[in-house]
Structures are given as C-alpha cells and as structure tokens.
Amino acid sequence: MQIMEDAAKYPAAEGPGARNPVNPAAENSAAKNSAAESPFAENAADSSAARPLLFTPLTLRSVTLRNRIVASPMCQYHSVDGGPGAWQEINFGKFAVGGAAVVFGEETAIEPQGRKTYACAGLWNDHHVAAYRRLNDFITEQGAVPALQLGHSGGKGSCHTALRNWSPLTDDDAAAGMAPWTTLVPSAPTAPAPWPKAREMDAADIRSHMRLWIEGAQRAADAGYRILEIHGAHGYLIHQFLSPVTNRRRDHYGGSRENRMRFALEIAETVRAAWPRELPLFFRVSAVDGRGGLWDIEDTVALAAALKDRGVDVIDCSSGGIAGTSSMPVVRRVPGYQVPFAETVRRETGCPTMAVGLITTADQAETILRTGQADLVALARELMWNPNWPVHAAVQMMGQEAYTLLPPEVSVRLIRREVINALPLNRTGAPASAGDEALSERI
C-alpha cells in the first residue's frame, strides 16, 4: 500500500508540540512489570515483548479476540417491545468501528417480565433474532466479536428508566401504556413496599425459568452472538438468590451458601448445555453485595470455582446491588475499584477474569493485564465518552501503524494526515523537493 510506504519514509514528527506515537510511560511500565502467569500462556507466547499485552490477541474456545478491550454491557432504554433499532445499531456499532475486541449489547431479558423497564432489551421471540442479527453482522464485519448479556431483573423490575431514577411503576402509569407487573423474587419481602408487587418463586416457577434460559441461549446463537454472558450481579434475580439479605428460603435453594448458589449453578449448567460448545460463556458477579450486605469475596471465589467446573470461561467481576444492615462498607468508586476482585478470583480459582470499573487510561489497562490482575479489561462510561478509545490507546502505545485497527476507509485518511504533518516543508518551511511537493498535494 503506497500510503504505508510514504508513512515509513516520513515518521511522525518529534520535538516540542509534536505528537509522539509511542508512550514512554507504557514502555517503562511494561519493562517493570513482567507478564504474570496466565491461563492463556499460549497466546502470550505468540506476542513479542515489545507489543502491549492490551493489544495481544486472546483465544477463548474457538473465538479469537483481536485485543483485550471489551465494550461492557450498558443499558440504553431505547428498545421497543424488547427489540433493537437504529439507536442500538449506531451505539454498539461505533464501539466495533473504534477498535474494541468484544462489543456487548445491553442487559437483555429472557422474558418480558424479566426487564427492569418497558424500554429495556429482550430476546424472547424470533422477531428479536432477526433484528439482532443485522446488528451483529455489522459488528462482525468491523472485526469485533458480538456478545450478549442475558438476565432477569427479578425484584428490580416494573420500574421507570434511569431518567426517572428507576422509580417503581404504579397504577397511575397504566394509562400511559406502562402498567406495573408482579415481579419474581426468591423470598417474599418481609416489609413489602406498595410497588412493585412481588411474588416468591415456587418450584414450578424455577423449572419454567430454566426453560426460558435455554430458549434465550438458543436465540442468542441464532442471532449471531459469539459470546454469551449470564448476568448474576447488581441485585437482579440470580444475585437475589445468592445473597442471604434477599434469600430467606427454607428449601434447597436457601439457607447454606451451597443451597443459595444452587439457582445460579443450575442456570449455568442449563445455558452451557444449550449454548454451542465451541463458544465462550461468561458470568457476571457482584463480588460483594455492597453497603450493609452479606455476600462477600470469599463467597464469590467459591461460586467462581463452581462455575469454572461447569464450563464458564470468564468471570466478569463487578460489585454492588444489594444493601442490608451489616457492617459491610460501601465500595468506594476510585480508579479501578473492582480490579482487586478480578485479581482475587483469578488467583484463587485459576479462572480467567474480566476487570471493569473506572478503567480509563491505556497505561492503567496495560498494568492490570501485565500484573496478572485480569485477562480482559471492560470499559463502559469511558467508551460512551470516547468510542474510539481502543484505537487512541493503540496509537499512543504502538504508533501510527495502529491506525489499521480502524476500518481502512478511515485509517488511510489518518495515516495520510501523519505523512503530511511529517513532510519537512510542512514542519519547518524548509525548501522542499519536487517529490515532496507532489506527495503533499497528492495525499
């Protein structure tokens, strides 16, 4: 490609005010931190020591990721009857164009009553499958892997969107077409609020619930998703079964930790059997309940080990969602605040982990990987702010060759800009050869 030859001839400018395509801090960090032992040693062995681990491919079962950057699941509240439209196509498509390796959609319900709001995403009919397939085809064409997070809101359903602070729906909302519904919970509330109404799941509910997970996993595969994640965090139904704050059952789904884990593990087994064997399965956990909670990191390690035994490939480590009256402190929102959870789970179980939570810089992400705290880094709000974060990080760490992470129609323009900026006639005003003048005009 002629433009790449021109770029090699005229490297990026140096000196005051010039953009240095290589980040010395990242090089120093990589030199100081030797690569930690990884469950994916074969991937690490293929990369040169100079290449940032952040931009080293990773293979999970049959799926190879072009780098370690994940667009984390983010609720959009723009779905119509559960299905995606133009908003999702543009919103999630731009993360694929911007260089992320994995693009998760939003939390997606396995049934209408499993949504938090009427505007939440769902995957419960074949109409949804066709709509998601169009979105996933585009994501795949950009070199990214489409991923889906399936879940059920449980007692956190039947509410308004984030713009109204998730306030519960009431009979007054029915006139606007948003009638409240009865939510499903592991245990009836001891002091029920007027809204939403809640019903404790019985054995028949649990059996039918498992069938919904089978159908959801099968539809996800039909829709072209290549990674599936079970949402077991943030105070939703699975997490409600795990935490003794919300699970006061007296049957074999309540009481001991082993019993409280049973619902989550049965779902994992059910989904793993329904999801294609060659495709990876993730599981998102709340590593700790949150302020006043009871489920803690020791419990999460036990759950992660059991999930690994059942074919879960990656534990996605988040936190929070259930509050109680214990002395458990709030998780302070500082940079990388959930990374220690991912590190602990990875170290104690040997299961690959994904770190998420205020990861905002390339150096920070690289350090997380180099020091063995996680195998993947997930960004949410930072990608909302800058969907091109992956390619910006790549150029910062590896130079202008990283522009090729972008679609060729975009990268060729940016590389041309670098060549033009590097020409002596544009940098210093010095006399230029006829060849340089022709090159400047041509590109």
Q: What is the DSSP string of 302-362?
A: HHHHHHHHTT--EEEEE------SSSPPP----TTTTHHHHHHHHHHH---EEEESS---H
Select which of 236, 253, 337, 403 is catalytic: 236
Sign of dihedral through CA atoms 420, 423, 426, 431?
A: negative
Interatomic CA distance for residues 368 and 346, integer angstroms: 12
Q: Which amino acid, 28?
A: N
In three-state secondary structure terms, 100 is: coil
225 is a catalytic site residue: no
**104, 71 Cβ separation under 8 angstroms:** yes
Left (φ > 0), alpha (ψ -120 to 50) or beta: where does 262 sit? alpha
- β-partners of residue 315 are 283, 353
36-67 as b/e: b if 16+ CB within 10 A: bebeeeebeeeeeeeebbbbbebebeebebbb
Interatomic CA distance for residues 104 and 110, integer angstroms: 16
First to last CA, the chain: 13
Residue 332's contacts (CB-CB under 8 Å, 6 or more residues apart) are: none
Active site residues: 236
